[in-house]
Every structure is written in structure tokens, then in C-alpha cells.
Amino acid sequence: MTSADSIDVVMLTKNSNKPYFRRVLRAIKREIPVHHFIVVDGYSTDGTMEIVKEFFGKRTKVIRTDAPLGGARYLGMRAVDTEWFAFIDSDVEILPAWFETAKRIMQHPRIWGVEGSFWTGRRGNYVKPLLHPKKHFSWRLVLTRGIVEPYWASTSSVILRRDVIDLVDPRFLYHLESGEDAYIAWKIIEHGYIYI
């Protein structure tokens, strides 16, 4: 059983006050039981913080930094105080039932990451676990389809267990300017847990 009555949401921002930004925040407020809304901000000057506080008020925590992407994600993870938390990018609008769908998957004790992309196809809902890169690596697959398809992970909308911070090397993660999402996902599966 998971205690996901409310979760922290971590969003990285830097001058994110774009025409769609209010829609992004409105969808989060509608779909997720937010405990704290943690904003890791790169010193925005366009009113981003005012809009976030308009939506989440006293539940807003702000961390200002000029750290690279991996460092910003690490600082956000350190501020989390719920069992589960979500990374939602400032340009990603989550769909209705996004959290409720993920919540059902989060019940399994070995699942430590639930990426926010769910597809519905002819065979019903499609949820694919990320394969272990060492055990399932195939040069043939990589040469024919590229590295992205079998091993790609995205933190644009993902729910993670708070304890994932214990799996990553902060010295390595902090300095990543890209690929931090794949690093987090691979650390989850490298330790024997599941990233969906």
C-alpha cells in the first residue's frame, strides 16, 4: 500500500511565464493532490514565481539556483518530504486521470518510477517497463532503431519514490547538463527496482 494521499511536485523553471504556463499549473492543481509545490528556479525575471504562488500559495517552496539541469533536479529531490513526488516540466500539461492512473501502478513495492506517458491502443492501455541497459543491451536493436527507443526515459512528467535520492551519486548527477532523466531511471533499475 502506498501513502499517496498527497505528493510533492517539483518543477524546474527559468522564465517559464509563457502563454500556456497557467494551463500547465491548472492541470497540476486539478489532477494531483499537491502537498508542496517545489520550484527550482533559475532566477526568473518574467513573473514566473508570482504565477506559481497564485496557484499554490503557501504550499510553494522556492529554491533559486543557477545549477545545471542535473543539479537542479537533485536540489528539488532533496526538498521533497513525501513518500512519492512528481517532476513536471513547466511546458507539460498533464491529462485528466494522469495521477489516478499512475497511483494504481504505484501500489507495487518494486516500482520506484512511473513515467507520465500512457498510451491507449488497439490492445488497451500500454505501460512498458524500462529495460535494464546491461542485461538487455543489443547492438542490433540500437543500430536499427537508435538508443532512444529501448532505453529512453523522461522526467518531463514522472512520479518517483523519494528514496530514489539514495540511489544516485549526487556528485555525478549534480553536474549533468542533460541525460539526468536517463541516469535517474537507470539507477532505479540497476538497483533491482522497476521504472515504468
Render each residue's pLDDT in the chain as its tens digit; 196 residues: 346 689 999 999 999 999 999 999 999 999 999 999 999 999 999 999 999 999 999 999 999 999 999 999 999 999 999 999 999 999 999 888 889 888 888 988 999 998 875 444 454 444 444 444 445 555 565 455 444 444 456 667 899 999 999 999 999 999 998 888 888 988 898 898 988 8
pLDDT of residue 156: 78
CATH class (in words) of the domain with range 7-195: alpha beta
Query: Under a CB-based contact definition with an 8 Å cutoff, are residues 17 and 46 in contact?
Result: yes
Residue spans of the domains in the chain: they are 7-195
C-alpha span between 46 and 92 (Å, rounded): 19
Sheet of 194-195, strand order: 60-64, 34-41, 7-13, 84-88, 157-161, 111-115, 194-195
pLDDT of residue 9: 98
pLDDT of residue 178: 84
Q: Which residues pair with 159 in a beta bridge?
A: 86, 114
C-alpha span between 159 and 115 (Å, rounded): 6
| 138 Rama class: left (phi>0) / alpha (psi -120 to 50) / beta | beta
pLDDT of residue 97: 87
pLDDT of residue 140: 61
| Model pTM score | 0.83
Supply 196's cell numbers. 515504468
pLDDT of residue 138: 56
Chain centroid to Cα 110, Å, comes to: 18
pLDDT of residue 141: 53
CA-based Rg of the chain, rounded to a whole angstrom? 17
Query: Under a CB-based contact definition with an 8 Å cutoff, are residues 176 and 69 in contact?
Result: yes
Residue 136, Cβ neighbours under 10 Å: how many?
A: 12
